[in-house]
A and B are shown apart, each in its own frame.
Chain A
């Protein structure tokens, strides 16, 4: 079996959010980047578990500049066998999806994994785009994935529950919480990652349809109004008369 795991990089969850003075780009000054949690905790780990059970190869793919190779090395330390970096800034989901699809065409992958969304731009767009470029079935928000021969049984999160679906290989899937448990890379994994192959591939040009106009920070909250814990009738009154939410 051959598994592709698409890895993106996002600011650390505690990083301060700030933008360049023109408001057109994220200000990454002094920010630590991490592997997008959905890609790392669920997609990558599940692909590694399936490879361990069934044999095969896990390829971790990232669209980004050379500075991001530490994220790919981490994916190798967690358990990917090979890494591929498409050498370009991932400027939009359309751009990223096209690069992933162009690479995926060159090898016959059985399952293409992505995280359900990135925690910075929160698009949840790339997986469906990749699937369309490759004319493959797509299951979004999968919280469980098992293989029965050539068929995958997948639970996908729907509003207020899950739907259990079947699909034949190959297909594209986006991973949500539940698909696997986070793995912390061990010393042996980190050592081995140094010698695993990391291939760099040039990007293909893509016409952009969407432009950033500006980013803004939300206005600060007015401040909390404290209510006496003995007097919950007062809280109800405030929620009804002042906040108008009851």
Chain B
């Protein structure tokens, strides 16, 4: 049995969970095993909706003790659910939640773990599972074989396409024992209205070429027109022109959107490391020698203060005609 932990941070089942279920269901088919999804904590929408992504059983531990992320309580719950349903492969998302839990669960279950997986390479006849992941901050790919009987995988965001292949099911409510949480949540501060960077399909990113934080209006407008999330290079975040959670690259967030638009960013190797898994890269830079053009699919050599507003206009026109 493949068990997918469909995460629901702050009660919300979102893209990361849907991707994990889509992936888990396909993996189960390859293994010739059934697949179930488990949701921990109370949710704002019906967990049975996960059935749309192809899973025929949804287990819901509808207990508000799991509404906050306490890795010890969640690990205990997942280990117990895995035992109850006889799961030997556990899939989760490589998100802030998955990074908190995957290693812990692997130790608890004496399982082999590969985190940040982008796909399955093969299933061997002896049960060995070979998975792919991006390493060296996107500069190389690796294949790892998990040889232990119990396996834990976490799936990189945007690595696979969501697939609707089933119908909502009615969730089975489960109870599990769990230690009292040792972590208390004081506050949550989120940037409203924008898709978080790791989940974003289109990212508009800007660098030092912007000259001054007061110039970001044109970047915001382009992002708005595209429905994109904004990002930035490291020096921009370091000088507090933009919040640090926008910093992408080797020492920032690694992303893999469908479209990455780089504005006034030179394309230093450490920057490319975090973005070169993007499907399509557009570079806008006034310096034709900027290294970023070597990593780009489309390039515009020109002054960003002229090119970006022009691009925003063109996008608006295109969207209006759609």
Q: Which residues of A contact B (CB under 8 A)?
A: 11, 13-14, 17, 19, 37-38, 41, 93-94, 97, 116-117, 119-129, 131-133, 135, 137-141, 143, 153, 156-168, 171, 174, 177-178, 208-218, 221-222, 224-227, 229-230, 232-233, 235-236, 238-240, 243, 245-246
Which residue of B145, B301, B315 contacts A210 across the interface (Cβ within 8 Å)?
B145
B202 at the interface (CB under 8 A from A): yes
In the complex the two chains form, what is the Cα distance from A66 to B274 in whole Å?
A: 31
Q: If A138-B71, A160-B197 touch, does A128 touch B273 (CB 8 Å cutoff)?
A: no
Cβ contact within 8 Å between B311 and A128? no
Please tell me the number of chain B residues within 8 Å of chain A, measured between CB atoms: 101
Q: Which of B183, B186, B247 has the most CB of A within 10 A?
A: B183
- Give every chain A residue within 8 A of B300 (Cβ-Cβ): 226-227, 229, 232, 235
Which residue of A38, A138, A160, A221 contacts B104 across the interface (Cβ within 8 Å)?
A138
Cβ contact within 8 Å between A119 and B293? no
Query: Main SS of the interface on chain A?
Result: mixed
B19 at the interface (CB under 8 A from A): no
Distance of A175 from chain B, by nearest CB (Å):
12
Q: Name B318's closest neighbour in chain A (CB-CB).
A: A236
Distance of A39 from chain B, by nearest CB (Å):
12
Cβ contact within 8 Å between B144 and A212? yes
- Give every chain A residue within 8 A of B273 (Cβ-Cβ): 13, 119
In the complex the two chains form, what is the Cα distance from A79 to B145 in whole Å?
A: 40
- Give every chain A residue within 8 A of B3 (Cβ-Cβ): none
Cβ contact within 8 Å between B190 and A215? no
Q: Name B16's closest neighbour in chain A (CB-CB).
A: A159
Q: Name B277's closest neighbour in chain A (CB-CB).
A: A218
Q: If A156-B96, A210-B145 touch, does A129 touch B104 (CB 8 Å cutoff)?
A: yes
- Give every chain B residue within 8 A of A240 (Cβ-Cβ): 318
In the complex the two chains form, what is the Cα distance from A199 to B228 in whole Å?
A: 51
Q: Which residues of B contact A (CB under 8 A)?
A: 9, 16, 68-72, 75, 94-96, 99-108, 110-116, 121, 130, 133-137, 139-148, 182-191, 194-199, 202, 226, 237, 244-245, 247, 250-252, 254, 258-259, 269-270, 273, 276, 279-280, 282-283, 293-303, 306-307, 310-311, 313-315, 317-318
- Give every chain B residue within 8 A of A165 (Cβ-Cβ): 68, 183-186
Cβ contact within 8 Å between A94 and B106? yes
Q: If A216-B140, A235-B300 touch, does A161 touch B189 (CB 8 Å cutoff)?
A: yes
Q: Which of A38, A143, A210 has the most CB of B within 10 A?
A: A210
- Give every chain B residue within 8 A of A239 (Cβ-Cβ): 259, 280, 282, 298
Query: Main SS of the interface on chain B?
Result: mixed
- Give every chain B residue within 8 A of A166 (Cβ-Cβ): 183-186
- Give every chain A residue within 8 A of B100 (Cβ-Cβ): 128, 138-141
Distance of A238 from chain B, by nearest CB (Å):
6
Cβ contact within 8 Å between A221 and B307? no
- Give every chain A residue within 8 A of B148 (Cβ-Cβ): 209-210
In the complex the two chains form, what is the Cα distance from A171 to B72 in whole Å?
A: 12
Q: If A129-B106, A213-B145 touch, does A137 touch B72 (CB 8 Å cutoff)?
A: yes
Known: A229-B307, A243-B297. 8 other contacts (CB 8 A): A97-B107, A119-B273, A124-B94, A129-B107, A177-B247, A214-B142, A236-B318, A239-B298
- Give every chain A residue within 8 A of B252 (Cβ-Cβ): 177
